[in-house]
Amino acid sequence: KQEVTQIPAALSVPEGENLVLNCSFTDSAIYNLQWFRQDPGKGLTSLLLIQSSQREQTSGRLNASLDKSSGRSTLYIAASQPGDSATYLCAVRLIWAGTALIFGKGTTLSVSS
Protein backbone atom coordinates (compact mmCIF):
# COMPACT_ATOMS: atom_id res chain seq x y z
CA LYS A 1 0.00 0.00 0.00
CA GLN A 2 1.37 3.37 -1.00
CA GLU A 3 2.17 5.68 1.89
CA VAL A 4 3.18 9.29 1.56
CA THR A 5 5.09 11.03 4.34
CA GLN A 6 5.89 14.71 4.65
CA ILE A 7 8.56 16.16 6.88
CA PRO A 8 8.49 18.44 8.76
CA ALA A 9 4.87 18.62 9.85
CA ALA A 10 5.28 22.31 10.61
CA LEU A 11 7.87 24.93 9.84
CA SER A 12 8.29 28.55 10.90
CA VAL A 13 10.80 30.80 9.18
CA PRO A 14 11.48 34.52 8.90
CA GLU A 15 10.76 36.27 5.65
CA GLY A 16 13.43 35.93 3.00
CA GLU A 17 14.67 32.48 3.91
CA ASN A 18 15.03 29.71 1.40
CA LEU A 19 13.42 26.50 2.56
CA VAL A 20 12.91 22.87 1.59
CA LEU A 21 9.89 20.70 2.19
CA ASN A 22 10.28 16.96 1.97
CA CYS A 23 7.99 14.25 0.69
CA SER A 24 8.67 10.52 0.59
CA PHE A 25 6.61 7.66 -0.81
CA THR A 26 6.95 3.93 -0.31
CA ASP A 27 6.04 2.62 -3.77
CA SER A 28 8.11 3.95 -6.66
CA ALA A 29 5.57 2.80 -9.26
CA ILE A 30 4.07 6.23 -9.61
CA TYR A 31 2.65 7.97 -12.64
CA ASN A 32 3.38 11.44 -11.35
CA LEU A 33 3.71 13.55 -8.22
CA GLN A 34 1.90 16.78 -7.56
CA TRP A 35 2.51 19.53 -5.00
CA PHE A 36 -0.45 21.53 -3.74
CA ARG A 37 -1.00 24.49 -1.53
CA GLN A 38 -3.97 24.67 0.86
CA ASP A 39 -4.99 27.79 2.74
CA PRO A 40 -7.05 27.34 5.94
CA GLY A 41 -10.57 26.22 5.15
CA LYS A 42 -9.97 26.30 1.44
CA GLY A 43 -9.53 23.89 -1.39
CA LEU A 44 -6.27 22.88 -3.04
CA THR A 45 -4.25 24.89 -5.49
CA SER A 46 -1.90 22.95 -7.71
CA LEU A 47 1.66 24.25 -7.61
CA LEU A 48 3.78 21.84 -9.58
CA LEU A 49 3.32 18.52 -11.33
CA ILE A 50 6.23 16.20 -12.03
CA GLN A 51 5.82 13.27 -14.34
CA SER A 52 7.62 10.06 -13.36
CA SER A 53 10.09 10.54 -16.21
CA GLN A 54 11.01 14.04 -15.09
CA ARG A 55 13.54 15.11 -12.48
CA GLU A 56 12.26 18.57 -11.62
CA GLN A 57 9.80 21.34 -12.37
CA THR A 58 10.05 25.04 -11.72
CA SER A 59 7.49 27.78 -11.36
CA GLY A 60 8.63 31.20 -10.20
CA ARG A 61 10.20 30.86 -6.76
CA LEU A 62 9.19 27.20 -6.52
CA ASN A 63 11.24 24.24 -7.60
CA ALA A 64 10.20 20.64 -7.13
CA SER A 65 12.47 17.67 -7.65
CA LEU A 66 11.68 14.00 -7.97
CA ASP A 67 13.88 10.98 -7.32
CA LYS A 68 11.57 8.11 -8.08
CA SER A 69 14.09 5.39 -7.33
CA SER A 70 14.57 6.60 -3.77
CA GLY A 71 10.93 7.55 -3.32
CA ARG A 72 11.58 11.21 -2.58
CA SER A 73 10.51 14.63 -3.70
CA THR A 74 11.44 18.05 -2.41
CA LEU A 75 9.76 21.40 -2.81
CA TYR A 76 12.18 24.29 -2.67
CA ILE A 77 10.80 27.76 -1.94
CA ALA A 78 13.18 30.63 -2.56
CA ALA A 79 13.05 33.96 -0.75
CA SER A 80 10.00 33.06 1.31
CA GLN A 81 7.26 35.65 1.87
CA PRO A 82 4.46 35.93 4.44
CA GLY A 83 2.03 35.16 1.64
CA ASP A 84 3.63 31.74 1.31
CA SER A 85 2.16 30.78 4.69
CA ALA A 86 -0.10 27.79 4.06
CA THR A 87 -0.14 24.01 4.22
CA TYR A 88 1.76 22.29 1.45
CA LEU A 89 0.63 18.85 0.39
CA CYS A 90 2.31 16.39 -1.87
CA ALA A 91 0.38 13.65 -3.60
CA VAL A 92 1.28 10.76 -5.85
CA ARG A 93 -0.72 9.13 -8.58
CA LEU A 94 -0.11 5.45 -9.14
CA ILE A 95 0.66 4.06 -12.58
CA TRP A 96 -2.77 2.57 -13.10
CA ALA A 97 -4.88 4.93 -15.15
CA GLY A 98 -7.81 6.61 -13.47
CA THR A 99 -6.60 6.21 -9.93
CA ALA A 100 -6.97 8.95 -7.39
CA LEU A 101 -4.15 10.78 -5.69
CA ILE A 102 -2.64 9.60 -2.42
CA PHE A 103 -1.78 12.46 -0.12
CA GLY A 104 0.70 13.12 2.61
CA LYS A 105 -0.43 14.93 5.75
CA GLY A 106 1.20 18.14 4.66
CA THR A 107 3.68 20.65 5.99
CA THR A 108 2.24 23.76 7.56
CA LEU A 109 4.47 26.70 6.77
CA SER A 110 4.47 30.00 8.60
CA VAL A 111 6.57 32.86 7.27
CA SER A 112 6.91 35.83 9.58
CA SER A 113 7.58 39.36 8.41
Tell me which residues touch another protein (CB under 8 A). Answer: 4, 31-32, 34, 36, 41-46, 49, 51, 89, 91, 93, 98, 100-106
| Contact predicate 48/35, CB 8 Å | yes
**Residue 47 burial class via C-beta count within 10 angstroms: exposed 0-12, middle 13-18, buried 19 and up:** buried
Rounded to the nearest whole angstrom, what is the least distance from the CB of residue 18 to another protein in the complex?
A: 25
| Closest distance to another protein from the beta carbon of 7 (Å) | 14
Residue 18 or 45 having the CB closest to another protein: 45
Task: Name the residue nearer to another protein (CB basis): 77 or 88.
Answer: 88
Backbone φ and ψ of 82, nearest 5°: -55, -30
How far apart are alpha carbons 94 and 13 in whole angstroms? 33
**Which residues does residue 69 pair with via DSSP β-bridges, in sequence order?**
none
Give every CB contact of residue 41 below 8 A, 6+ residues apart in sequence. none
The residue among 14 and 66 lying less far from another protein, judged by its C-beta, is 66
Q: Provide the minimum distance between the beta carbon of 44 and another protein in the complex, in angstroms, as a whole number.
A: 4
Least distance (Å) between residue 100 CB and another protein: 4
